[in-house]
Amino acid sequence: MLPYIIAPNLDIPVRPLTQDAFAEFGTVVENPANATGRSQQVKVVKANQGSALKYIDVSHVSNFYHLAPSENPARAVMNMFVCSARQLQSTGSGSDIPQERPSKFPVQILERHPFTPQTFIPLGLSAVDVTTAYLVIVAPTCQTMDRPLPYPQHAPKQQRSWTEIFSRAQPTPADDSTLSPSGSSPEPQLPKGPGEPDLSRACAFLANGSQAVTYGPGTWHAPMVVLGAKAIDFVVIQYANDVALEDCQEMEIRTETGSDGLNVVIDTARLGLKLQEKAKL
């Protein structure tokens, strides 16, 4: 049986997926030239005999399994998730026109990968596709709790400074030139700790086909929620050591009787009528 938490009666509004809005939870991977809502500029160099631009360290695949209780070594893995489109429910309120009423998605489970980031890269989905998109649902980790931790907390046997862990050389490929004079790449995120998800601060973002997303290590998130006309194939990159509770931890989101629980609410203007028509029951 999974650990569980009782959801507050809470509606989460959907926001566009931008790096500044998502920074607490991880990284949005997209062409910086087309990105909105990004205050930090990344480093860029010319590559491929001047025919390409290379943006450096747009995301990180860090390995924190030296902190895991088993001390089993981890390996980099690349999997594919074929995520079917999910159906939204009508809120039954708002406009008198059914098609213009807000829709909702009930959040029933969250998961995290405590010792590794996890990057989801959608395939075959255009940025201008108005019939298919996906939701990114995340929650911070509680720092204090009134009941025992759902999973054991473990301190590494050999303490190392974060400076030592993250020290590494900058890439210098032979054909790179003309380094941008401004900009700095985002730093790797540290593990979030062993607490439960803080549902009162949960967030939801709507992503398009030009955006991949990296969940920082230990970030609570819902399984990928595809909306619209078709499934999305995601290539997923992370570390894993094949110890179940060290690779993935899940938390069931339960609802008390008479409560609507935790729901992502999406208005028609945000989702678009064509996408909403495909996603609704």
80-108 residue pLDDT tens: 999 999 988 888 665 555 566 788 999 99
Residues 106-127, mean pLDDT to the nearest whole number: 94
Superfamily assignment of 4-31+61-150+187-279 in CATH?
Ureidoglycolate hydrolase (2.60.120.480)
Q: What is the pLDDT of residue 272?
A: 72
Contact (Cβ atoms closer than 8 angstroms) between residue 197 and residue 251? yes
pLDDT bucket at 149, cuts 50 / 70 / 90 = low
CB 16 within 8 A of CB 213: no
Place 274 in a pLDDT band, splitting at 50, 70 and 90.
confident
Q: Is pLDDT at 273 greater than 80 in this prediction?
A: no
Predicted pLDDT at 152: 53
* pLDDT for res 265: 93
Print the SS3 string covering 196-210. CECHHHCEEEEECCC
Q: What is the mean pLDDT of residues 158-187?
A: 47
**Tens digit of pLDDT for each residue in 32-69?**
888 887 777 788 999 999 999 999 989 988 999 999 99
Question: Would you list the domain boundaries of the chain?
Answer: 4-31+61-150+187-279
Indicate if the pLDDT at residue 177 is higher than 60.
Answer: no
3 state DSSP class of 278? helix
Confidence of residue 232 (pLDDT cuts 50, 70, 90): very high
| 32 conformational bin, left if phi > 0, alpha if psi -120 to 50, beta if neither | alpha
Residue 161 has pLDDT above 60, yes or no: no
Rg (CA), the chain: 20
Tell whether the model's pLDDT for residue 157 goes beyond 60.
no
Please give the pLDDT value at position 144. 62
3-state secondary structure of 81: strand
- DSSP code per residue over 155-198: --SS---HHHHH--PPP--TT-B---SS--PPPPPPP--SPPB-
Reported as a pLDDT band with limits 50, 70 and 90, residue 118 is very high
What confidence score (pLDDT) does residue 276 get? 72
Mean pLDDT of 195-207: 95
Please give the pLDDT value at position 64.
Answer: 94
For the chain, the average pLDDT equals 84
pLDDT of residue 147: 62
Q: Is the pLDDT of residue 169 over 50?
A: no
What pTM, to 2 d.p., does this model score? 0.84
User: What average pLDDT does this structure show over 243-263?
Assistant: 92
CA gap 262, 256 in Å, rounded:
11
> Average pLDDT in the 143-168 region?
51
Supply the pLDDT for residue 171.
42
Q: How far apart are CA 191 and CA 113, in angstroms?
A: 9
